[in-house]
Amino acid sequence: MPTYVYETCPTKPGAKAVRFEVDQRMSEAPLTKHPETGEPVRRVISGGLGFVCGNEGGSAPAGGCTMPGCGHAHH
């Protein structure tokens, strides 16, 4: 079961957002309220799988990435 990160959406001026984690099935709808306080929340998208384009030296060719579908161009 994946762990999702959520952040509160403060409604009071000066209040700070608080991040917390929730284990949920992928088929479950995202939370809209904090499970304990009822405060509005949003799911935070972070991290994930990515690909590094380029050669062994760590830099991409002059025209950008050569991997099909990468879409990463260097200017």
| Cα–Cα distance measured from residue 39 to residue 11, given in angstroms and rounded to the nearest whole number | 8
Same domain, 40 and 53: no
The CA-CA-CA angle for residues 47, 69, 66, to 5°, reads: 100
User: What local confidence, expressed as pLDDT, does residue 45 receive?
Assistant: 87
- Tens digit of each residue's pLDDT (9 = 90 or more) over 18-58: 999 999 999 999 999 999 999 999 999 877 666 666 555 55
Same domain, 53 and 75: yes
Same domain, 37 and 53: no
Same domain, 40 and 63: no
Same domain, 7 and 40: yes
From first CA to last CA, the distance across the chain in angstroms is: 41
pTM over 0.75: no
Count: domains in the chain: 2
Domain that holds residue 58: 49-75
Same domain, 37 and 67: no
User: What local confidence, expressed as pLDDT, does residue 41 receive?
Assistant: 97
Neighbours of 41 (CB within 10 A): 22
Same domain, 54 and 40: no
